[in-house]
Each structure stands twice: as structure tokens, then as C-alpha cells.
Chains A and B, each alone.
Chain A
Amino acid sequence: MSLLKLTEVTMNFGGLTALKSFNLELAPGEIVGLSGPNGAGKTTVFNVITGVYEPSHGQIFFMEQEITGMRPDLITKAGIARTFQNIRLFKGLSVMENVLIAHHLHLKANYLAAMLKLPGYRREEREMRERSLALLERVGLADLRDEQAGALPYGMQRRLEIARALATNPKLLLLDEPAAGMNPKEAEDLTAFIKEIQTEFDLTIFLIEHHMDVVMNISELIYVLDYGMTIAGGKPAEVQNNQRVIEAYLGVNEDVED
């Protein structure tokens, strides 16, 4: 059984084809990488999966259910959470609030019950706080829970964004360049962290990554995109030596032709 399946997904923006006939199948428990040069269409894949864009062609299935063109919040509710390439925390709110907000989609109490603070809502609020605090403890941010999210150092903001995504209780976690802007040591810590949460929260992880060593280290499978097309897919070692991948990253030596 596949957890996520994309069949022949194409995304056109006017005359530009950002993604062409993209196929993907993720099995539960996998960590899969998506790589490729700048502008290859990697983030478009994420935006199509999470419902930010509706694909021009093709279908997307999550746990055997079609989710093509569904509203982003419903897709998140179904169990797909994401982080963003350029961190998108609720900067003006506290660390704790950021995580609490991600619990909101599971809230059962209605608007009036929450406004009147009825007992049912109070219990849910207490549970949300407990779970948020546990999550923050897990990612090592519990002491900073009252700090403004935007004031945290970069690495911690990345962690908070992952914690916030975990709070939605996902089955599939999409990480968009989690190691961007990190030095090798930080990237190494992050790799270990991702592996830990993967087992701990029983997640399937699909990540976009430029850092080749991170991708190689962590992923069981890697897909490589260039100009919206899949140019390679397979085990890290195979992909690394693939001629088209090398060309896509380094360019073709035109003198050698013929």
C-alpha cells in the first residue's frame, strides 16, 4: 500500500511548465529525498501535494483517497504537514502559541463554547497545552516557550517549524530544505533529529534538500528534478553517479559534443 501517490502530475503557469508528468509513490515509513538545481520545480511538488496549487493535469492520492485540488487545510487535516523553505512561523506570537495554533484543527469545541470557556473547551485547551509543552520539550524549546518566535535564532526557528508541523499530528511530513543556511555541524544534528522524529512519531518523510550530504545520508530513495522533469530516481549511490544528474548540477561540456 502506498501512503502518497502522484500520477502524471503536471503544473503549468501560463506558458511555463513548472512540473511535467511527475510520478511518485511513497510507502509508509520511508524517508525520500527530492533534489535538483534551483528552479527545477521542487517546491512546486510540495505546493501541489499540499493543495496550494491545483495541478493542471494528473491525480494525487493520499492513503488511497484522492486529494487533488482539495483545500490546504483539509489536506493538513487528512495528515500531511509541511515546513517552508523560507521559514514561515507566526513571528509575532510566542513559541508556545505557534505550536498551540497547530493543534487548533483537532479542536472539537465550537466557537461559542470557546468564547464562553465551557468545561468541554477548558479540558481540550488543557490537553492542547500539555501536548504542546511535551512537543516543545522534545525539540528542546520548552524553556523558550514564552519567547517571540521571530526572535529565536535561525536553527531554533527551523526546529520550531518542525515541532509546529508535528503538532498537526501528521502521517506524512514534508520538509522543504530543512538544512538551508546551516553549517555542516548543524546539518548533521538536523539529520539525526529528523531520523529520530521519524521513528518516534511513526512518520513518512519527504524532503527537499540541496545539501547533497544530508540527502545522501538520510534518504532511502532520491528523486532528482530538472526543468520540471524527473531526470533520475533511485538509491542515493546510484543517483550520485547518474550522468544526467551531474550534468544538471554542473552543466554539459559542449566542446566535447560530436
Chain B
Amino acid sequence: MAEQKRRNQILTTVSILLLLGFIYFAENYLDLYIVRILNVCAIYAILGMSMNLINGFTGLFSLGHAGFMAVGAYTTALLTMPPAVKQQIFYLTPLIKPLDQMNLAFPLALLVGGLLTALVGSMIAAPVLRLKGDYLAIATLGFAEIIRVVFTNTQSITNGALGLKGIPALTNLWWSFGTAAFTLVVLLSLINSSYGRALKAIREDETAAEAMGINLAKHKTLSFVTGAFFAGIGGGLLGNLLGTIDPKMFSFMFTFNILLIVVLGGMGSLTGSIISAFIVTFANEYLRFLDESINLGFFVLRGKVGMRSVVFSATLMFVVLFYRHGLMGSKEFSWDRLLASRVCQRMQGCFKKRLLKGGYDQ
């Protein structure tokens, strides 16, 4: 046991060092396209984990994530944009007073974005969390749409439909991966605590949870607000990665993408959400050929924009119908399970055989 624990510690340390090395390498040597995809991966991992806390661990079927992201993205963007740029893009209606001169450091702006999103989350939590199941989904979906419409019309704060341009590109791999790691550590620690168990109890059986003395309103709000906080931070990172944001970006499709990640990775598995965030994001890039014309030699398939979405929707249906647990179910990644897996065993077997053979040759 102790030996195993030590081995796992070593493996974890080595992986973290490798990851740090890789980030350094990627930042300095890989082309911008790949770096950008990696950034999106990490941000989607944050968004996936935060949604998983609400939907997967607490069992609240919430579809308001795009709204949370929008609040975080706009807040962080407005707080990091230089005053000159703000003056330039707010040409229809000037930006309201204190905001137009404000300029905060990136981490501080992210934090404020997260906190403001958490505040918005706590305000809608009281009315919305009285609802259950489908009704909750509809209400939260409505909330996200309201945010979008409000942002389209508050010209003097959000620049309306014109959106924000020239947001400083402050998000790099260190920030996105660092935040993702921070999110993972905090949420893991939460779900393994007594509060996390209470959230899981609510997911399993609300009536029984209440009969065991769990204050449903309080715990649901805690989960919802914590999820909103991290969604806001994720949104902030995204805005400062893309450089431009507008209200249309934060439509239901965005929430759907995150939901896909959560379901694919496994409802109730944070590490599952991370793995599937990478898979979905990379697939989204490498399936681009589906949107273009494909020449099969004897026949040219006319490309249809949106074919990728069809693939993703079909995948989601397939997962929900036949593979409901997703990649990880409700389990977290562990070295023990990975090393005990069939693929890994076979690899180890091959490796040992090679070594033996090598020995005979000499």
C-alpha cells in the first residue's frame, strides 16, 4: 500500500513536471494555431468542471452556463482593456463613468469577473432553484437568454451588438492551464468534503437528503454559485484569448458544447470533464473537413457548414443512449486504475518481453 502510494506520488510529480515542460515548450516553439487550441481546451475544461459541479454532482439540470460565461467575459474584458481602446470602440454611446478609466491586472480582473458572476448566480438561485428537472432547465436557459438580450441592449456598458474588440490577449497557456489546475484542486477538495457528500446526497435523493437534515436551498445555492464563479473565470479567460466578444457568441449552442463535454466525460467526474474537453476541442478542429467539400475522385460531396455539429449531436445521442456513464462514469482518474487497465497491462507485458529478448541477444 505504502509502496503504491509512493509510486503514485512519483508518477503525479513526474506528470506535473512533464506538463510544465510541455507548456513551456508549447508557448515558445509551437505554432499559434496549436497554442490557441490548447488554450481553448483548458478553458473548456474549466467550464466543463464548473458545469459538472452543478449538473453532475448536485443533479441540478442547469443550462445557464452561457449566461455565466458572458458575465465573466464582459467583466474581465472591460477591466483589462486600456482606456484608449475603450474610447475608440464605444463610438455610438460612451462607456459609463468609472468603467472607462478602470484598468486592472489580469488576475484581479479575472477574480472580479468570477465574483460578479457568482453574485449574479446567487441572485437567480433563489427563484430558479425552487424548480426541479425540466423546469429548472427551462428557467436557467431563459436566464442565459435574458443575459444575452440585456447585453445586446445596454449599449453604454457592453457596447451592445457591436461587441467588444481589441481585448488584450492576456490569456496564455500558463494562465489557462494554471486556472484549470486550480479549479480541479478546489472542486476535488469540495466534492470530497462533507459539503460535497451533501451535494451528492441531493443528487441521489432529494427527499431523503432533506430528511437527513440537509438544507436543500442552502446547498443547492452553494453549488450553483460555486459553479457560476468558475464559469465566470472561464468566460474571462476566453474573452481575453479571442480578443473579441459579442452577445451572439453566448447563445445556447455554447451551453450545449459544454454539456456535451460534461456528458461525454461522465456526469460526476471532474477528470472526465477535462479529458473530454480536450477530445471535443481537438475533434472540433480536426473535423473541419466535414464542413468543406470532399472530393472522392468519382464524386464530390458538397460541403455543408454545420456538419460538425451534426457529428457532435449524434455523438451525444449515442452516448446518452448506449453509454450513459460517459468516459469516466462518476469515477476520478487514478494511477492504480490506469495501470491495472487492460491496455496498460498488455503494454507492460510487451515491454517486459522486449527486455527479456534483448537479454538473450547479448
Contact = CB atoms under 8 A, between A and B. Distances in A.
Interface string A113-129: 01111000100110010
B208 A105 contact: no
A102 B212 contact: yes
A52 B207 contact: yes
B15 interface: no
B194 A107 contact: yes
Contact of A101 (B186, B189, B190, B214): B214
Interface stretch (A82-90, A197-205, A246-254): A82-90
Of A72, A77, A82, A91, most buried by chain B (CB within 10 Å of CB) is A72
A168 B210 CA distance: 12
A64 interface: no
B190 A104 contact: no
A164 B197 CA distance: 14
Interface of B: 186, 189-190, 193-195, 197-198, 200-201, 204-205, 207-216, 222, 330
A226 interface: no
Contacts of B193: 114-115, 117, 121, 125
B30 to A, nearest CB: 35
Given A92-B204, A93-B200, A168 B212 contact: yes
A72 B211 contact: yes
Q: Is the interface of B mostly helix, strand, loop or mixed?
A: helix
Contacts of B215: 71, 73
Given A84-B208, A90-B200, A104-B197, A77 B190 contact: no
Interface of A: 50, 52, 71-73, 76-77, 81-82, 84, 88-93, 97, 100-105, 107, 109, 111, 114-117, 121, 124-125, 128, 164-165, 168
Given A92-B204, A115-B186, A100 B213 contact: no
B200 A114 contact: no
A115 B230 CA distance: 14
A51 to B, nearest CB: 8
A93 B215 CA distance: 19
B207 A73 contact: no
A101 B195 contact: no
Given A76-B212, A101-B201, A104-B214, 20 more contacts: A52-B211, A72-B210, A73-B213, A76-B211, A81-B212, A84-B207, A84-B211, A88-B207, A88-B211, A89-B205, A90-B201, A90-B208, A102-B213, A104-B197, A107-B194, A111-B195, A114-B190, A117-B189, A164-B212, A168-B212
A125 B222 CA distance: 19
A87 to B, nearest CB: 9
B200 A100 contact: no
A164 B211 CA distance: 11
